[in-house]
Structure 1
Amino acid sequence: MIFARMIYFVLGLLEILILIEVVLSWIMIGNENKYTMMIHRMTEPFLEPGRRIQESLFPNLMIDFSPFVAIVIITFLKRLLIW
């Protein structure tokens, strides 16, 4: 039970970090900011597979849907833990 709660917490934290990454990409703080780079390094492994799939299905699409896909998958995993 404790292990499931810990995983649930980490997945929730990952969701928040992905949302912060999205907002930071909109306001363009820059890659030289150490906090921006830290968040990018933490979320990139979860966003990159979605970007590769999106690029293969819809090349040259101007909107990155990988954060949406990642959050949907994380939400699914969180609900699976509760169930």
Structure 2
Amino acid sequence: MVTLHDKDSGVFIGEISDQQLQQLMDALEEESSIDKDYFVNRAELAFLEDQGLDRALIGLLRTALGDREEMEIVWGTS
């Protein structure tokens, strides 16, 4: 399993599958080949949803975003 955390606060967001992580990696911009963090905002999540990314993954990220406009997430393996 892959764990997601809020990069700024370190708060645990949830666990996702390797397949869900691959969807994020394919859809979001990476700064380098070892990049383990992603910037997300409301517009990005709507775009990812329109592109057919896993609904549970989008829901998890929307919940983590809460009432904020944007956040950075970081992933790791457990």
- Structure with the bigger percentage of helix: 1
- Which interval holds the TM-score relative to the shorter structure? 0.3 to 0.5
TM score, norm. by length of structure 1: 0.36
TM score, norm. by length of structure 2: 0.38
- Structure with the bigger percentage of strand: 2
Of structures 1 and 2, the one with the larger relative CO (CA 8 A, separation 6+) is 2
